[in-house]
Amino acid sequence: MLKKALVMSAGLVAMLAASPAVQAATQIQWWHAMGGENGAKLEEIAKGFNQSQSDYEIVPVFKGTYDEAMNGAIAAFRANEQPAIIQIYEVGTGTMMAAKGAVYPVYQLMKDQGEPWDQSKFLPAVVGYYSDTDGNVLSLPFNSSTPILYYNKDVFEKAGLDPETPPKTWADMEKFSQQIVDSGAATCGFTTAWISWIHTENLNALHNMAYSTEANGFGGLGAEFVFNNPLTVRHWGNLKKWQDSGLFKFGGPAGGDNAPPLFYSQECAMFMNSSAGRAAVINNAKDFKVGFGPLPYYDDVIQEPLNSIIGGATLWTLQGRPAEEYAGVAKFFTYLQKPEVQADWHQFSGYLPITEAAYELGKSQGYYEANPGSDIAIKQLTRIEPTENSKGIRFGNYVQVRGLIDDEFAALLGGQKTAQEALDDLVKRGNEQLRDFQSANE
């Protein structure tokens, strides 16, 4: 029996050796900057694609913050160790575009790999931000957001305001804030994150004001900032005035880490931040009802505001990987655009549905009816076809410029400069960054 078993085993080994080897799936690295719950959801999305076919395996790799992920990708590319896919935030777009030879534009990738590609199905404001001057989309929109207003309905009611009516204009913001503070319903009218994104970049877009020459940077590297205009001077001056009178509390530089706690503790009745913060706001506002509204505007400057501009990130494909990986990247990008995949990601995270189909699916599912205010960001983004001034901004070294915005705003709040002086100095310093980038990339 033993001899017979050994003969059979030898025959089995010979048969296996003669048969073709099982083909392993081609692994594709996806570097990203999403931690916490959104990072876990991102991994779930990758797993869903991996289970939908057997030829390719997307391998998500967390690389820290957006800055860290971008710097890591640049270093890896120089060492010829880059991933196929890297998640880059919106202010890195200009830098990525200038990295000639490093980027495989998504429209070209999809065409080369024979995958369907129809950029008209994306939300117009999303398409505009990530397109070149010929209208071709360069990176795949993934987690896009836009800033909105959150407000405390309970405080509104205590102050004698209609809890279902958020402030529409900046005049309303001042009036509502004064009534809230005077009534004792809260000690502060409003706070905010992102002086740069919300109160400088979006401020100018909403009012159809040029942020720079060269079509807000889309037209070339020779752009010069011009946002030290009467509108921005007025608004920054108002923020200083409202701070001094106790109506406004500054939430801190960049993303404003101090702003959410001021809102959650009910110290400030209103709060401006990314639409992607919706889940966090709802989870932390345990003791009061939250209302949602679009960003306010100056109705003596423009009768109806334009669309807001986006934040968040897109997925860039990098050159220099084996050819078989790009076929998998293209198939993965097709998967990511599926309405059910996008709608699920949007509804879980608070990021925007990047396609009209995903938005329509959410409506048919009754999601927006069941979650009032969850479509505020989409309506704000799509209320008008973007103009040259509202399609977004695109500059190299803009991460550094945002740091300068925070510096000059702090000088204003501290009383060292007037709004005009701060913005004039900011534009001068910002233009120096643009010239540095231009000289290094032309």
The larger pLDDT score, comparing residue 97 to residue 83, is at: 83
Report the Cα–Cα distance between both ends of the chain, in Å, rounded: 79
Residue 343 confidence (pLDDT) above 50 = yes
Q: How confident is the model over 181-203, as a mean pLDDT?
A: 97
Domains, the chain? 23-145+310-370 (3.40.190.10), 147-308+395-441 (3.40.190.10)
| Poorest-pLDDT segment among 17-21, 58-62, 269-273, 317-321 | 17-21
> pTM (2 decimals)?
0.87
| pLDDT at residue 255, as a whole number | 81
Q: How many Cβ atoms from other residues are within 10 Å of residue 218's Cβ?
A: 22
Mean pLDDT of 293-313: 95
Q: How many helices (H) and strands (E) does the chain have?
A: 20, 10
- Residue 427, both tokens: 């534009």
What DSSP string describes 250-266? Answer: E--STT-TTHHHHHHTT
Q: What is the pLDDT of residue 341?
A: 96
Q: Average pLDDT of 5-17?
A: 41
Q: Could you identify the residue written with the tokens 């009178």?
A: 245
Please give the Cα distance from 170 to 151 (Å, whole number).
15
What pLDDT digit, counting tens, does each position of 70-81 carry?
Answer: 889 889 988 999
Q: Mean of the pLDDT values across residues 24-30?
A: 94
Work out the pLDDT band at 126, boundaries 50, 70, 90: confident
Given pLDDT bands bounded at 50, 70 and 90, which one contains residue 10? Answer: very low
pLDDT above 60: residue 297: yes
Residue 4 has pLDDT above 60, yes or no: no
Task: Quote the CA–CA distance of 274 and 393 in Å, as a whole number.
Answer: 17
Category of 16 on φ-ψ map: left (φ > 0), alpha (ψ -120 to 50) or beta:
alpha
Across 178-192, average pLDDT: 98
pLDDT mean over 414-421? 98
Position 3 scores a pLDDT of: 40
Check residue 17 and give its pLDDT.
42
Q: Which of 129-138, 142-151, 379-388 has the highest mean pLDDT?
A: 142-151
More confident residue, 3 or 240: 240
Give the Cα separation of 276 and 197 in Å (integer).
Answer: 14
| Residue 53 predicted with pLDDT over 80 | yes
- Cβ(307)–Cβ(383) below 8 Å: yes
Residue 270, Cβ neighbours under 10 Å: how many? Answer: 27
Place of tokens 């009032």: 372
Least confident of 150-154, 246-250, 396-400: 396-400
Q: What is the pLDDT of residue 129?
A: 80
Q: Is the pLDDT of residue 390 over 70?
A: yes
Q: Can you read off the two tokens belonging to residue 291?
A: 């209302």
Q: Is 12's pLDDT higher than 60?
A: no
What pLDDT is recorded for position 38?
Answer: 86
pLDDT value at position 16?
39
Q: What is the pLDDT of residue 1?
A: 40
Q: How far is CA 146 from CA 260, 285, 306, 343, in A?
A: 17, 21, 13, 17
Model confidence band, residue 23 (pLDDT cutoffs 50, 70, 90): low
Residues 32-51 pLDDT 10s? 999 888 889 999 999 999 99
**Residue 372 confidence (pLDDT):** 87
Q: Over range 368-394, report the average pLDDT.
A: 90
Task: Give me the chain's average pLDDT, please.
Answer: 91
> What average pLDDT does the segment 218-241 reach?
96
